[in-house]
Amino acid sequence: MTSAYVLNGPNLNLLGKREPEIYGKTTLADVERSCLEVANELGWDLEFRQTNREGELVDWIQEAGQAQAAGDAVGVVLNAAAYTHTSVALHDAIAGSGARVIELHISNVHRRESFRHLSYVSPVAAGIIVGLGVAGYPLALRALADLSERS
Ligand code: CA2
């Protein structure tokens, strides 16, 4: 079955447990459930993962790119969290693997500190969803479906 990857970066394991005024009260397990509903509807397997390690995100993006090239995956919803703003390695992994990536942020990073305004992911992303809360995750999966049908 075709897979969709939802990859989450550092500290997102704390979602719903800390800073609810910024990120809300929904946990990452709740987000996974909402993604599973959409994946089931679209007939996809879901690879929903979180890591605090940059290199692990690089490995997973390469894995997704290879699966996509083999016709076994539609792409990646990527909330790279703080690595968004720092990681040339993630930029290179996306560009080098050819993975179709929707960049996602729960908060509106453009209303926050200026260091969150720069993204190394955006120039190699197919699209970006920012500031819609955790509702952005299922929307991003639907966007992957649209994009993969069009290409
Ligand atoms: O808004 C987003 O989704 C972010 O990617 C979240 C990152 C932040 O560094 C980005 O600028 C924007 C932070 C993820 C940490 O998540 C936490 C959740 C709850 C409590 C503490 C951290």
What residues flank ligand 1, with Cβ below 6 Å?
11-12, 14-15, 18-19, 23, 79, 81-82, 84, 105-107, 109, 116
Q: Give the residue whose CA is nearest to atom 9 of ligand 1.
A: 82
Q: To the nearest whole number, what is the mean pLDDT of the chain? A: 97
With a cut of 90, say whether residue 22 has pLDDT above it.
no
Query: What is residue 23's predicted lDDT score, i.e. its pLDDT?
Result: 86
Query: What is residue 19's predicted lDDT score, i.e. its pLDDT?
Result: 87
Whole-angstrom distance, CA of residue 43 vs CA of residue 87: 33
Tell which phi-psi region holds residue 121, choosing left (phi > 0), alpha (psi between -120 and 50) or beta.
Answer: alpha
Kindly state the average pLDDT of the residues 117-133.
Answer: 98
Q: Which residues are identified as catalytic?
A: 23, 105
**Beta-carbon-side half-sphere exposure of residue 117 (alpha carbons within 13 Å):** 5
Q: What is the pLDDT of residues 41-98, one digit of tens each?
A: 999 999 999 999 999 999 999 999 999 999 999 999 999 999 999 999 999 999 999 9
Of 8, 11, 57, 122, best ligand 1 pocket probe by most atoms within 8 Å of the beta carbon: 11
Which stretches within the chain are classed as H helix?
Answer: 20-23, 28-42, 54-69, 88-97, 136-150
With a cut of 90, say whether residue 7 has pLDDT above it.
yes
For residue 3, the CA-to-ligand 1 centroid distance in Å is 25
The CA-to-CA distance between both ends of the chain, in Å, stands at 19
Q: Give the residue whose CA is nearest to atom 6 of ligand 1.
A: 81
Range of the domain at 96: 3-150
Atom of ligand 1 nearest to the CA of 116: 11
The enclosing H or E element of 106 equals none
For residue 81, the CA-to-ligand 1 centroid distance in Å is 5
Residue 93 maps to which CATH number?
A: 3.40.50.9100
Q: Give the residue whose CA is nearest to atom 10 of ligand 1.
A: 81
For residue 109, the CA-to-ligand 1 centroid distance in Å is 9
Total of domains in the chain: 1
Percentage of the chain modeled with pLDDT above 90: 95
Identify any residues that bridge with 1 across adjacent strands, giving them in sequence order.
Answer: none
